[in-house]
Amino acid sequence: MNDKVVELMTPEIKQKIEAELQHMSFTKNFRSASAEEWYVFLPNYHDPQTQGAAGKAIVHYDLYGNKEIFIHTTVILDDPALHQPEAYPLVYALADELVNRLVGYADTLLSVHAGANSFQSEYVNS
């Protein structure tokens, strides 16, 4: 039996993801004792009202003691183009890269708000 493997990401989507990730940048907007807020800048996506950052990432630290730290990371993407179903692979890749760059290897609960592409996931380093 010959099973056909279907590639879910076309070369065009892969190239678009690589280009956005390569040029993605962020700046810290606010920091408190238990939270950081970062503006996320993408070359081809912008906030529709300000034409500035495409979104923001909020990293909130729950500190239970010396050894127990759990992080809640929220990514909010404002550009309506990132809310379209066809943008899901890009949204997923952006959120994954933001967790890697901002949180690193710490355990985190991720919430992504991007219209129809919203999702939650958990990153656990065991």
Domain ranges of the chain: 11-123
- Give pLDDT, residue 70: 77
- Biggest distance spanned by C-alpha atoms of the chain: 59
- Give pLDDT, residue 10: 85
All residues at 6 or more sequence positions from 27 whose CB lies less than 8 Å from its CB, including other chains: 38, 39, 41
- Give pLDDT, residue 64: 65
* Residue predicted with more confidence, 14 or 62: 14
- Per DSSP, helices labelled H in the chain are 11-23, 88-102
**Displacement of CA 80 from its chain's centroid (Å):** 15
- Give pLDDT, residue 7: 61
* Residue located via tokens 């899901």: 88
CA dihedral 88, 91, 92, 93 (to 10 degrees): 120
**Displacement of CA 101 from its chain's centroid (Å):** 10
Query: In what side-by-side order are the strands of the sheet with 69-77?
Result: 25-31, 35-41, 55-63, 69-77, 108-113, 119-123
**51 has pLDDT over 70:** yes
Question: Closest by alpha carbon to 79, among 67, 69, 64, 94?
Answer: 94
The string of pLDDT tens digits covering residues 93-123 is 999 999 999 988 788 999 999 999 999 999 8
Q: Supply the pTM of this predicted model.
A: 0.87
The string of pLDDT tens digits covering residues 9-45 is 788 999 999 999 999 999 998 888 889 999 999 999 9
* Residue predicted with more confidence, 64 or 93: 93
